[in-house]
Amino acid sequence: MKIFCCLVSALAVSALFPAAHAAESPTRVYKTVAGRELKLTIANPADWKPDDRRPAMVFFHGGGWTGGAPTQFERHSDYLAARGMVCFQVEYRLLKGVPKGEPPLVCVQDAKSAMRWVRSHALELGVDPRRIGAGGGSAGGHLAAFVGMVDGLDDPLDDLKVSPRANALLLFNPVFDNGPENGWGKERVGTRFREFSPAHNISADDPPTIIFLGTQDRLIPMEVVKRFKVGMDKAGVRCEALFYEGQGHGFFNGAKPETQQYYIETLRSADQFLASLGWLKGEPTLDKTPKP
């Protein structure tokens, strides 16, 4: 997949508790399919320059591959941009109206296309092509894990010489196991689960990963994440799994006042994880407690 040229103006972002873009964010088309333009929304640091070589994070929204919107990770993107990263939110084709027996092929194809686009245009985007991470929640967590771990199922129009592989993964209650043992999405992938399921494609070259899961998630049992971590450990891949007592699916969004603390806690942990990789410097700037 090919990536976009980005001459963008800096974003005014609060480093402490960003809630929304102060100005309209720049967007770029990363792919056109059947006359439809698929876009990336970009969040840049305030002091961004096109000749920077900054780490980047590419976010994929959740919604069961059938719904949702890229803006799910707007606050995450604004915060990480304030910390010095370039962030992208991906619009991808959904399976809305597609029979349940159809796998999310177009979703994974678009995810790989977006990663290739960012990497192939890294020099114009102020991005280090060796430090491009992927993040996402639920089905978006599946796509993030997919581009980090699974070979194949590429868009045939992509430039396959450009790697779509993520160099780090931020996975928020990801449906990354699509297999028959308590996996999610089995009705879509069926017997093809090994082609689509990141949990069934663990290998030693996978990127360092951090996972966030509520203990009361009704879609993803804790045992699925624990089993994934065991597989990553055996492969010698760094994998951190953080569990949040009593929380359900989507808890990390902080959509309700009572879950705002989990938006903060998970994002601070993501910040510390990225800092441990050398992608960020210093301590998280996000407040430890929600604003009143």
Give the pLDDT score at 15: 34
Q: Report the C-alpha gap between 167 and 72 in whole angstroms.
A: 22
Helix (H, G, I), strand (E, B) or coil at 169: strand
* Cβ atoms of 51 and 63 closer than 8 Å: no
Q: Report the C-alpha gap between 70 and 62 in whole angstroms.
A: 8
* Token pair for 155: 């868009």
C-alpha angle 238-122-52 in degrees, rounded to nearest 5: 95
Cβ neighbours, 10 Å, residue 26: 16
Phi, psi angles (nearest 5°) of residue 130 = -95, -5
Domains of the chain in start order, with CATH, are 27-276 (3.40.50.1820)
Phi, psi angles (nearest 5°) of residue 12 = -90, 110
Strand pairing partners for 241? 211
Distance, first Cα to last Cα, the chain: 44
pTM over 0.85: yes
* Token pair for 80: 């990480």
Nearest to 128 by CA among 143, 113, 117, 118: 118
Name the CA radius of gyration of the chain, rounded: 18
Full strand arrangement of the beta sheet holding 209-214: 27-33, 36-43, 86-90, 54-60, 127-137, 169-172, 209-214, 239-244
Estimate to the nearest angstrom the gap between the alpha carbon of 229 and the chain centroid: 18
* Token pair for 165: 């592989």
Which is it for strands 86-90 and 36-43: parallel, antiparallel or unpaired?
antiparallel
Q: Which amino acid does the sequence have at 99?
A: P
**pLDDT of the chain, 292 residues: tens digit per residue:** 333 333 222 222 333 334 334 456 799 999 999 999 999 999 999 999 999 999 999 999 999 999 999 999 999 999 999 999 999 999 999 998 899 889 999 999 999 999 999 999 999 999 999 999 999 999 999 999 999 999 999 999 999 999 999 999 999 999 999 999 999 999 999 999 999 999 999 999 999 999 999 999 999 999 999 999 999 999 999 999 999 999 999 999 988 888 899 999 999 999 999 999 999 999 999 987 766 5
Strand pairing partners for 133? 57
Sequence-distant (≥ 6) Cβ neighbours of residue 206 within 8 angstroms: 148, 149, 232, 235, 237
